[in-house]
Amino acid sequence: MLVNTPNPLDIKSWYYCAHGTTTLTTPGRGDEALIEVYVEKPKGGHSGELYGLRSMMMTKGDGPDLERRRTGIQAEWDERFPAPADAQRSTNE
């Protein structure tokens, strides 16, 4: 079940959601990044299909941002924590 409700319009009682936070100590702001992964109800003893993502983190300059697109989540992370120029990135779309 969701334990963080940054947007009251989002589902609050869906039990098939993985929720994680991490405290970011670099670059010294001490804020937390949140990611939630929504899946459909399990069937036949197997996990449900992935159907949604949600993240919230402090952006580089203008405060917290709620994002639901994978590409948007990745862009926010890259803005805060630029990867080295020679970093390899997955091509799995």
Task: Answer whether residue 1 is part of any domain.
Answer: no
The string of pLDDT tens digits covering residues 14-45 is 677 777 888 776 666 667 788 888 888 888 88
Task: Answer whether residue 75 is part of any domain.
Answer: yes
Task: Answer whether residue 90 is part of any domain.
Answer: no
**Distance (Å, whole) CA 15 – CA 34:** 17
Number of structural domains (the chain) is 1
Task: Answer whether residue 65 is part of any domain.
Answer: yes
Phi, psi of 18 (to 5 degrees): -95, 135
How far CA 66 is from CA of 14, 17, 54, 75, in Å, comes to: 19, 17, 7, 12
Q: Quick one: pLDDT at residue 41?
A: 85
* pLDDT above 70 coverage of the chain, percent: 75
Task: Answer whether residue 88 is part of any domain.
Answer: no
pLDDT over 60 at 47, yes or no: yes
Q: Which residue range is the domain that position 50 belongs to?
A: 17-80
Q: Quick one: pLDDT at residue 52?
A: 82
